Structure 1
């Protein structure tokens, strides 16, 4: 079975179900247990969930209970500290199948002094390193980012510095950067792409194209991206496997239910 990496946008209401691949954000009618979120996550061996606003990890615990209802070791998780420049905080949450991948290490990127006003990211990446005996690339890192829409251009460009930091810290080349970069429509325009180091450097493969639509609503924007660097990781990517997953069509959901789960489609990729 090939590990697959996925990014999922906000699941609004998961936090309300607990007294968040995201507070987890409030979203399904009356109970997050009604959400198809566990069904979506079960597709993946590694999943990144963003916009988790669950200060006590109560909703995260309930989500893991659902994912592990048949076997307590189906999924494990690693979660960042609450991140943000003000009272609004989010976490990065990774859930993963321990029979497919092993968590080797993790660290919080230091992007400067928030109280001093010289930090780079609204929510600085919390980087994780995995290994798998089932893929051509045996070890790889994942760098998550939920970019602030108003600062998307600068934050995406600064991912290059994060990449260099991971390279130096772990002495590795095989690095995947993924998340809601807000990398499209009015937040990053076609004329701005050449100024982004992560984009103009051919060492980075952008697997989700600019013409993709990763939004559930009527907008057509490629906000969510997967970028891979490193020869072994790039060679492990199954051709044409990197796509948005339209869970609304897959599960026959109406607009209201789909938007309650997330206003973004997950983007996914398969490694061989």
Structure 2
């Protein structure tokens, strides 16, 4: 009797240990949709065609509630499924004010709690960051998304003060909401990720996009300035399989002139979790494929290997993810294998 009971107990323990939730597959984007809601130039079918390629978006330069709600309705019409929407109050020190928004596909993401505008006691930001906590449905993954549009100003020095102040905002998030959830800071930062002003934030986070550009120049196929980005907390534990710039004029078959007039002068930047894919390869720039790049990571262990590491060739194809360099692997939350040479 005792041995039978013990056997059943072992079976229950085995089933519990072997059970796991499906991998969190998610397509995340950050997009400055230039002056969304002002004027009658915007093509909402085109906006929805682009936004519908993703499951979760942080959007900057929302000028009116009507503009973002119209995009939500068009997304639902074109995708045939419901989309959630959360947006801030108008933010800004002067007559220029804008909202931040989060849009998500309800079949993949749900809002959890904690939607809040940063309590900026030092008045460091012209437009205070906005954040909230979300969960990936069908998985155990939750994350805190924060978005901001750094003031452009007349000179580069005008932007650095707010970028430096982002470390204080990050610490505020940790102090008030804890460290259980990885933080995604998505936005238009008006400053390249290699500028020295990022030094304080680099102590706790890293940018996902380090090459290329995200603003549309006036010449077709040419882009300038890597101002848009996604910063992730170090050691975030998320299964980031790809990141890059989504060059939407190639998707639409439009010139840059037409794209800037009817959509935006910014292209979305994105990250992919798990095995999520984008189905518009002609518009995708910077994707890390599962076998590309000299640095090899193990998707399961979250460990990466250089070509000179003993285990470089032992990673199975199913778990292999490539990175262009060690910085990219570290930014994606991977750590160096312990048996690699110093």
TM superposition score normalised by structure 2: 0.65
In the alignment, structure 2 segments of 5+ residues that lack a partner are 1-23, 275-342
CA change 1:269–1:73 in 2 (3 A) is same
Tell me whether 1:224 sits opposite 2:234 in the alignment.
Answer: no
Q: Residue 249 of structure 2: SS of its match in structure 1? A: helix
Q: 2:46 & 2:251 partners in 1: Cα distance? A: 11
CA change 1:79–1:254 in 2 (3 A) is same
Q: 2:130 & 2:238 partners in 1: Cα distance? A: 25
Q: How does 1:227-242 map to 2 (within 5 A)?
A: 227-231=231-235, 233-238=236-241, 241-242=242-243
Q: 1:71 & 1:45 partners in 2: Cα distance? A: 11
Task: Encode CA deviations 1:54-113: one digit per residue, 9 max, x unaligned.
Answer: 1xx22222212111126775211000000000111100011101221111121110112x
Task: Encode CA deviations 1:8-50: one digit per residue, 9 max, x unaligned.
Answer: 1233464334xxxxxxxxx43xxx33x5100111011111111
Q: 1:182 & 1:13 partners in 2: Cα distance? A: 18
Q: 2:145 aligns with which of 142, 145, 151?
A: 142
> What is aligned with 2:28?
5
CA change 1:267–1:13 in 2 (3 A) is closer
> What is aligned with 1:110?
119
> What is aligned with 1:68?
76
CA change 1:242–1:195 in 2 (3 A) is closer
Tell me whether 1:37 sits opposite 2:47 in the alignment.
Answer: yes
Q: Which has the higher strand share?
A: 2
Q: Is the 8 A contact 2:35 2:62 kept in 1?
A: no
> What is aligned with 1:50?
60
What's the offset of the Cα at 1:169? 1.4
Q: 2:78 & 2:224 partners in 1: Cα distance? A: 38
CA change 1:161–1:13 in 2 (3 A) is closer
Q: How many residues align?
A: 240
> What is aligned with 1:115?
none
Q: 1:235 & 1:66 partners in 2: Cα distance? A: 30
Q: 2:100 aligns with which of 89, 92, 102?
A: 92
> What is aligned with 1:215?
215
TM superposition score normalised by structure 1: 0.81
Q: 2:225 & 2:132 partners in 1: Cα distance? A: 27
What's the offset of the Cα at 1:267? 0.2
> CA RMSD, aligned part only?
2.2
CA change 1:64–1:194 in 2 (3 A) is closer
Larger Rg: 2
> What is aligned with 2:245?
244
Q: 2:149 & 2:197 partners in 1: Cα distance? A: 21
Task: Encode CA deviations 1:135-188: one digit per residue, 9 max, x unaligned.
Answer: 5x611101111000233212122111111111121212510111100113xxx8
Which of 1 and 2 has higher RCO (CA within 8 Å, sep 6+)? 1
Q: 2:52 & 2:135 partners in 1: Cα distance? A: 19
What's the offset of the Cα at 1:230? 4.6
Question: Which of structure 1's runs of 4+ aligned residues deviate more than 3 A?
Answer: 11-14, 70-73
Q: 2:133 & 2:36 partners in 1: Cα distance? A: 29
> What is aligned with 2:178?
171
Q: Is the 8 A contact 1:176 1:229 kept in 2?
A: yes
Q: Residue 121 of structure 1: SS of its match in structure 2? A: coil
Q: 2:137 & 2:33 partners in 1: Cα distance? A: 31
